[in-house]
Amino acid sequence: MKTMLCTAAAIGALSVGAPALAQSAGDWSGAYVGGVAGYGWQAENDDETIAFDTDLDGTYGDTVRTGSGADAFSPGFCDGGTYSPTPGPGCDEEEGGFEFGARAGYDWQFGNVVAGVVGEATRVDVQDNVTAFSTTPAAYTLTRELKGLLAARARVGYAMGDTLPYVTGGYAYGDVDHGFHTTNTANTFTMSEEDDGAHGWQAGAGVERKVTDDLSLGLEYLYTRLDDEGPTVRAAGGPAGGPFTAVSASGTDLQRTQDEFNVHSVRMSATYRF
């Protein structure tokens, strides 16, 4: 939150660097290419858990029971990953990462109003993990990592001489890698094959400032929301009558409870206009 507030303050400061009434509109029309570089991190989702389908009917929310009927996952869940079989040591904090990419677009200008479209390809590195703990004890971690983004957005700004504050929003497509690891060595675990692509949207705001007639530098904040259904993991095998095969001899399916993959990004940009 502090990072977002600082970014908003910086964008605002750049935007009011030259009073609007004292500035001509400037020329922001035409085609452009550019690059971006910055940092992205996953939005908080502390309420995420792992859900179970013990009878394999496709409906999640079942309770995995021990032989005595107790909740096999009573130790609970955590937002993050771990290789510890118990929740005591806690889970690793999910990591953000640096991002960089290229963009191209076109703007039309109507007085001070500048409207356009922009396409962008970005390399990112943001992780989102969730872990369940069983009474055995053991840990079960579902992982996902956003590796890249493609975006097509609209952009509308208000030109104040050499400064252009703007808002932007549109479609986003993410390349997401999925994984699973566990400290349970008694059962077998098979992850389903899923499409690594996730569809969603982006929205944000930024400001550009010209340093020459053709070159401008900028600062931008983007929020990305992707719908990532992710894979299921089949827990099977193990001792006869074990918790995972007590209801269905074929096993129990595990799946994370949140499909949304939400990412904050703060980036700097350099743009060359033709």
Residue 44: the pLDDT is 79
Considering the domain 2-273 in this protein, what is its CATH number? Answer: 2.40.160.20
Please check the confidence at residue 14 and state whether its pLDDT lies above 70: no
Q: Taking the CB of residue 171, how many other CB atoms lie within 10 A of it?
A: 14
Low-confidence winner among 8-12, 176-180, 235-239, 267-271 (lowest mean pLDDT)? 8-12
Residue 25: the pLDDT is 67
Q: In which band, very low, low, confident or very high, does the pLDDT at 23 lie, cut at 50, 70 and 90? A: low
Average pLDDT of the chain is: 91
Residue 11: the pLDDT is 52
Please check the confidence at residue 3 and state whether its pLDDT lies above 90: no
DSSP-derived secondary structure letter, 84 = -
Percent of the chain scored above 70 by pLDDT? 91
pLDDT tens digits, one per residue of 171-185:
999 999 999 999 999
Residue 241: the pLDDT is 77
Helices (H) and strands (E) in the chain, counts: 1, 13
Please check the confidence at residue 7 and state whether its pLDDT lies above 70: no
Residues 6+ positions from 174 with CB-CB distance below 8 Å: 146, 148, 149, 197, 198, 199, 200, 224, 226, 228, 261
Q: In which band, very low, low, confident or very high, does the pLDDT at 22 lie, cut at 50, 70 and 90? A: very low
5 versus 42: the higher-pLDDT residue is 42
Residue 19: the pLDDT is 46
pLDDT tens digits, one per residue of 86-114:
999 888 877 789 999 999 999 999 999 99
Q: In which band, very low, low, confident or very high, does the pLDDT at 84 lie, cut at 50, 70 and 90? A: very high
DSSP-derived secondary structure letter, 81 = B
Please check the confidence at residue 195 and state whether its pLDDT lies above 80: no
Q: Angle CA(248)–CA(253)–CA(254) in degrees, nearest 5?
A: 145
Please check the confidence at residue 16 and state whether its pLDDT lies above 70: no
Buried b (16+ CB within 10 A) or exposed e, 134-163: bebebbbbbbbbbebbebebebebbbbbbb
Tokens of 113: 């109003």
Contact criterion met (CB below 8 Å) for 271 and 33: yes
Helix (H, G, I), strand (E, B) or coil at 200: strand
Residue 4: the pLDDT is 47
Please check the confidence at residue 203 and state whether its pLDDT lies above 50: yes
Q: In which band, very low, low, confident or very high, does the pLDDT at 20 lie, cut at 50, 70 and 90? A: very low
DSSP-derived secondary structure letter, 245 = G
Average pLDDT over residues 129-152: 96
Q: In which band, very low, low, confident or very high, does the pLDDT at 261 lie, cut at 50, 70 and 90? A: very high
Q: In which band, very low, low, confident or very high, does the pLDDT at 9 lie, cut at 50, 70 and 90? A: very low
